[in-house]
Amino acid sequence: MSAAPHSDWSLAIHGGAGGMSRDNLTSEADAAARAALSAALDAGAAVLAAGGTALDAVAAAVQSLEDAPEFNAGRGAVFTADGTVELDAAIMEGTTRHAGAVARVTRTRSPVALARAVMEQTPHVMLAGIGADAFALTTGLEQVDPTWFRTPERARQFAEAGTTFDRAMKYGTVGAVARDIHGHVAAATSTGGVTGKRWGRIGDSPLIGAGTYADDRAAAVSATGSGEDFIRLGVAHELCARVRLLGESVADAARTLIAEVGAVGGAGGVIAMSPGGDATWSFNTSGMYRGSVASAAPPRVAIYANEG
C-alpha cells in the first residue's frame, strides 16, 4: 500500500499484526476494531490538518489506540504469566532523532505519553520497571489503578491460555507514523507485550531501532509482531538504512525487511512513512489492523491481507 504522493501531511497507524481472518473475527469485533482505527486516524489527522507536528500527531493517534480495548496496548493489554499487565512504549522524531521509551510500566494511563516525557524531561532514552513508574509520578501524567488496564476479554484469553507464552503473537501492538506540513517525520509504538510473558521480558516495541525509529533522511517506522525477531534484525533502523544508504523506496525496504523476518521464522508487519509523505505497510500474517489518511487522500482502514 502507498498513500497519495506529495501530500502536505500524511498519517498511517496499526493495531497489530496477527492471525485475524474473516473466519475467526466476529462481525462485532470487526466493526469495533474499524471504529477504533478510524477514531485514531481522526485524532492524528486533526493535529496535522491544523499544522501540528508529526510528533504530536503520532502521540495523539497512539493515545487513542491505547484507550481502545480492542488492541493490545493500554486498556486491553494482554496479561503476563503472573496475571498482571506490563506496558511498553516508544516515541521518536526524525529531525534531531530524539527519542524516549518506557518498559514494564504499570500505572500510567498512556505509556506513549510517558515515553515522550522521558524524551523531553530527562537526559535518558529509556526507563523501565519500578524506576519508570517512579518517574511517572513526577510528570503529572494520569495514573490509574492497574486493574483499569484489564478487560474481560483479556481475562478470558488468559484463562484459556494459562501461563503459556504466546509464540503466535496473536494480539499485536499499536503504532503510528506521520509526516507533517514541515516535512518532518515521527513514529510511536505502544504494547502490552505477549500473553504469558515472564522474567521481565521486553519486546521490540520500546527499543529504538528495533520496533520504533524515525529519521527525516529516510523514514519513520513502527513495527508489530514477534518481537524477538524484530530485535535480532534491528528492523526499524535497518529499513531506514536501506532507504538512506541504498536509495530504496520505503515500500521496497519494508517488503525486504518483512521477508527477512519471515526467513528467520518470524511474523508481523511494519508501517513506514517517507519524508515525502508516502505511507507504506507490509506484513506476512493473515491480517494487520491498519489505516491511513493524508491531506491528499481520504481515510481508510483495513484488517485482512486481501483488503487493498
Task: State which H helix or E strand residue 131 sits in.
Answer: helix 129-136
| Phi and psi at residue 147, to the nearest 5° | -65, -20
The answer to whether the pTM exceeds 0.75 is: yes
Which of the following is catalytic: 173, 195, 212, 285? 173
54 in a domain, yes or no?
Answer: yes
d(CA 280, CA 268): 14
Whether residue 105 lies inside any domain: the answer is no
Mean predicted confidence (pLDDT) in 157-162:
77
Position 280 in a domain: yes
Whose cell is 500527531? That residue is: 57
Residue 62 vs residues 91, 189, 228, 255, 269: alpha-carbon distances, Å: 10, 7, 22, 24, 17
pLDDT score, position 24: 86
Residue 257 falls inside a structural domain:
yes
pLDDT band (50, 70, 90) for residue 20: confident
How many separate domains does the chain show? 1
Does a structural domain hold residue 124? no
pLDDT of residue 19: 86
pLDDT digits (tens, 9 = 90+) for 210-269: 999 999 999 999 999 999 999 999 999 999 999 999 999 999 999 999 999 999 999 999
Q: Look at residue 252 and tell me if it is in a domain.
A: yes
State yes or no: is 189 an active-site residue. no
Query: Residue 33 — very low, low, confident or very high, per pLDDT cuts 50/70/90?
Result: very high
The whole-number average pLDDT for the span 265-274 is 96
- Check pLDDT > 60 for residue 170: no
Residue 111 falls inside a structural domain: no
User: Cβ–Cβ contacts within 10 Å for residue 74, how many?
Assistant: 29
Looking at residue 114, its pLDDT comes to 98
Mean pLDDT along residues 265-286: 96
SS3 33: helix
Average pLDDT on 116-124 reads: 98
pLDDT tens-digit series, residues 70-89: 999 999 999 999 999 999 99
Domain containing residue 52: 10-96+154-304
The verdict on residue 106 lying in a domain is no
293: domain CATH number is: 3.60.20.30
Least confident of 22-36, 128-142, 165-179, 187-201: 165-179
